[in-house]
Structure 1
Amino acid sequence: MTLSLWFSLLSACIIISFTPGAGAINTMNNSMRQGWRASIWGILGQQIALLIHVVIVAAGVGILVANSPALFAIIRYAGAAYLVYLGIRMLLSKPEVASDGTTSGRQLTRRAMLNRGILVNLLNPKAIVFFLAFTPQFINADQPLLGQYALYIGTVIAVDILVMYFFFAGTARTFQRFTATYRGAKMLNILFGVLFILVALLLLFLH
């Protein structure tokens, strides 16, 4: 991969990472409820899903998904259903109130955040189709593939981690005082519950 091509890849990754989606919403939710430092586990889960998507595309399975309406629909509905589940769960959850009237919210384990991050990004067939169209632009089939894929996925993941952690999680961190009260935490549950459901609807209808 030439330097100019890599800069094109870098620019594209930055623009894509700043585009709000389910991953960004999940990251902000983790940061506000679990803390900025802990939110890295959800972000790492999302990167594992990105890696799986690229491997799927590299193996050619992405072509099958893109050309099979039934398989695409199954994955699409599964992804939307999971986001709706997360949204409803947040809407119905009740913040845990301490004796002083404040709330720390429901604490998730690192593994729980990691697993949720994986599912949020993995159950999105559009990501497979996107990488199917995006990846070949930066891979030269006439050159050794391993090094190219390593640089490609390394750039994608590095940019996404930096944007998710320092922008989305960092921005959400500034609202933690607001969510320290019962009322604030309840409003947070409603906000992110609605956002997850809206993303699910977009996943279903904007295709």
Structure 2
Amino acid sequence: MTLHVWSLYVVAVFLISATPGPNMLHVMSQSIHFGPRRALATMCGLMSAVLLCLVASALGLGALFKAAPRLFDLLRYAGVAYLIYLGIRAWRARISTDDEGPGSPRSGWTLFGTGLLTGLSNPKLIVFAAALFPQFIDPQRAFAPQLAILVGSFVVIESFWYAVYAFGGMRLAAWLRPVARQRLFNRLTGALFVGFGGALLGSRA
């Protein structure tokens, strides 16, 4: 992998990660409801999903999906169902009053698991890992160093945007104290998750 190829990869990942999607929306909403510190467990779950998808792609999962499209469809439908579930839950989320603090605490493992499943059902990540990521690996060069550089670069960039969205959520939490704004945010978040589910439903291996 040349420096030019790596530079193109970094630019592509930076732009893809910056674009609002299920991962970033989930980080922001968890930061609003539980605070940025508690949202770290969510970020770890999302990042684990990123690592799993990228490594699986590099090891040939994309080719497997092309050879067995029914397997891809099975995973796709499961992801669609989970995103729609998140959308319904966000739409119906409890509204807190001004004198209440952050939402009721959840265990770190619960937040991690929710983040992991959200990441694994992310249409952007699935399409990127299956179709785009393998193209940056030069088969004529050593595999392991390339994989380490590409995955490491992705983790650094993705972590940066997690922090941006988490602290953005923290600042947004104060604005969302009025009940009407909370209800609007919950409705918008729910609709976006359902929309992401529709995007995944329309994706192809």
> Which TM-score tier does this pair reach, normalised by the shorter chain?
0.7 to 0.9
Q: What is the TM-score normalised by the length of structure 1?
A: 0.86
Structure 1 counterpart of 2:30, which letter?
A: N
Paired residues of 2:21 and 2:124 also in contact (CA < 8 A): no
**Contact map agreement 2:123 2:203 (CA 8 A) in 1:** no
Residue of structure 1 equivalent to 2:182: 185
Q: Secondary structure at the match of 1:81?
A: helix
Following TM superposition, the consecutive aligned residue runs of length 4 or more in structure 1 with deviations greater than 4 angstroms are none
Shift of 1:65: 1.4
Aligned to 1:140, the other structure's residue is in SS state coil
Matches within 5 A, 1:102-121: 102-121=100-119
Residue 191 of structure 2 corresponds to which residue in structure 1? 194
1:19 aligns with 2:19: yes
Task: Name the CA distance, whole Å, in 2 between partners of 1:18 and 1:179.
Answer: 23
Structure 1 match to 2:149: 151
**Residues in 2 aligned to 1:58 and 1:92: alpha-carbon distance in whole angstroms:** 39
Task: Give the 3 Å change call, closer, same or farther, for CA 175–125 of structure 1 in structure 2.
Answer: closer
The CA deviation at 1:124 is 4.2
Equivalent residue runs for 1:92-107 within 5 Å: 92-97=92-97, 101-107=99-105
Amino acid across the alignment from 1:153: V
Identical amino acids, percent of aligned pairs: 31
Alignment match, 1:37? 37
Contact 1:32/1:173, CA 8 A, preserved across alignment: yes
Q: Which runs of 5+ in 1 are unaligned?
A: none
Q: What CA deviation, in whole Å up to 9, does each residue of 1:170-203 have, x standing for no partner?
A: 2222211123344443333222122211211222
Contact 1:103 1:181 in 2 (8 A): no
CA distance in 2, matches of 1:21, 1:151: 24
Question: What do residues 65-97 of structure 1 show as CA deviations (whole Å, max 9, x unaligned)?
Answer: 133232222111111110111111222232355
Q: Which runs of 5+ in 2 are unaligned?
A: none
For residues 76 and 15 of structure 1, do their structure 2 counterparts lie closer, same or farther at Cα, with a shift above 3 Å needed?
A: same
| Counterpart Cα distance in 1 of 2:16 and 2:92 | 32
**Structure 1, 135-144 or 28-37: larger mean CA deviation:** 135-144
Rounded to whole Å, the distance in 2 between the matches of 1:186 and 1:112 is: 24
Query: Which residue among 138, 144, 166 is the counterpart of 2:136?
Result: 138
TM-score normalised to structure 2 length: 0.87
Is 1:10 aligned to 2:7, yes or no? no
Aligned residues: CA RMSD: 2.2
Q: Provide the residue aligned with 1:70 in structure 2.
A: 70
Q: Is the Cα–Cα contact under 8 Å of residues 62 and 131 in structure 2 kept in the other structure?
A: no
